[in-house]
Structure 1
Amino acid sequence: MAASHFRELEVWRLAMDLTKAVYQLSAGFPRDERFGLTAQIRRAAVSVPSNIAEGNARHTPRDYARFIAIAAGSTAEQQTQLLLAQELGFGQADLARGALDLCERVSQMLSKLHRALEHKSTSGYGSPGPEQ
């Protein structure tokens, strides 16, 4: 059965964990990156659970799928920024690895949810998937 509220979605909860991990990691970035990579990676992190929540509140599977696609794009952006931070030696390496792992899991879950929603919007029936 599909979740009726975004707070029930496993992918939303995991995206929230990812956002917290990014904030923790980016707190260790150089101070002169405060308006650069630190701000950018945090915006991308916040965008993921925010778009999941907004999509869940939409009234059609097509609208929901569009916001999930936006969240997936923000996840790809975030992965790029995490990899860049790692290559630049910003933040603690173990925190960066953990955030990258979470990012990959969220990305996979968003992909599954998007496929389910696309199927639902084209077929007109079915649920968006079990606890995505």
Structure 2
Amino acid sequence: MVNYKNYKVWERSHRLVLSVYGLTKNFPKSEEYNLISQMNRASVSIPTNIAEGCGRETQKEFIRYLYIASGSAHELDYLLLLASDLGYIESETSKTIISEIDEIKKMLASLIKTIKKSIRT
């Protein structure tokens, strides 16, 4: 069992959650149970799945949770694009956060690849 807090990808995804929550505070009240909820849940899902995967017994299980985290990152990527197109956030803000999501996706892919290599050897 590994401490999830030791992973840089967890740390960055946690900071991403804080950014998304700060951003969605300014969305219209009418989006409270729609886009706000969906974006917040997708963002929280990333570090949560990394943490849960660290608590699993096998590396294969950990990889499965990292894939789920990656899926949530892809979902959040789209939701930010949508929020930008709807005019809820500035285009530059959206681009900055999407850039951070892209980095997190790369980090997750790299971690998955590293763990898969260690399983084979």
User: Which TM bucket (shorter chain)?
Assistant: over 0.9
Equivalent pair of 1:7/1:13 in contact (CA under 8 Å)? yes
Q: Distance in 2 between matches of 1:49 and 1:66?
A: 14
1:25 is matched with: 23
Per-residue deviation, 1:86:
0.8
1:129 is matched with: none
CA displacement, residues 51-80 of structure 1 (integer Å, 9 cap, x when unaligned): 000111112110000000000000000000
Unaligned runs of 5+ in 2: none
Amino acid at match of 1:72: S
Higher relative contact order (CA 8 A, sep 6+): 1
Q: CA RMSD in A?
A: 1.5
Unaligned runs of 5+ in 1: 126-132
Q: Distance in 2 between matches of 1:99 and 1:31?
A: 22
1:64 is matched with: 62
Q: Distance in 2 between matches of 1:47 and 1:4?
A: 19
Equivalent pair of 1:56/1:64 in contact (CA under 8 Å)? yes
1:120 is matched with: 118
Q: Normalising by the residue count of structure 2, what TM-score does the alignment of the two structures yield?
A: 0.92
1:42 corresponds to which of 40, 48, 51: 40
Equivalent pair of 1:27/1:91 in contact (CA under 8 Å)? no
Per-residue deviation, 1:99:
1.7
Count of aligned positions: 121
Q: Which has the higher helix share?
A: 2
Between 84-93 and 46-55, the greater mean CA deviation after superposition: 84-93
Q: Distance in 2 between matches of 1:39 and 1:101?
A: 21
Q: Distance in 1 between matches of 2:22 and 2:96?
A: 11
Q: Distance in 2 between matches of 1:90 and 1:15?
A: 22
Asked if residue 12 in structure 1 is aligned to residue 29 in structure 2, the reply is no
Q: Distance in 2 between matches of 1:42 and 1:12?
A: 16
Q: Distance in 1 between matches of 2:22 and 2:94?
A: 10
User: In percent, how many aligned pairs have the same letter?
Assistant: 31
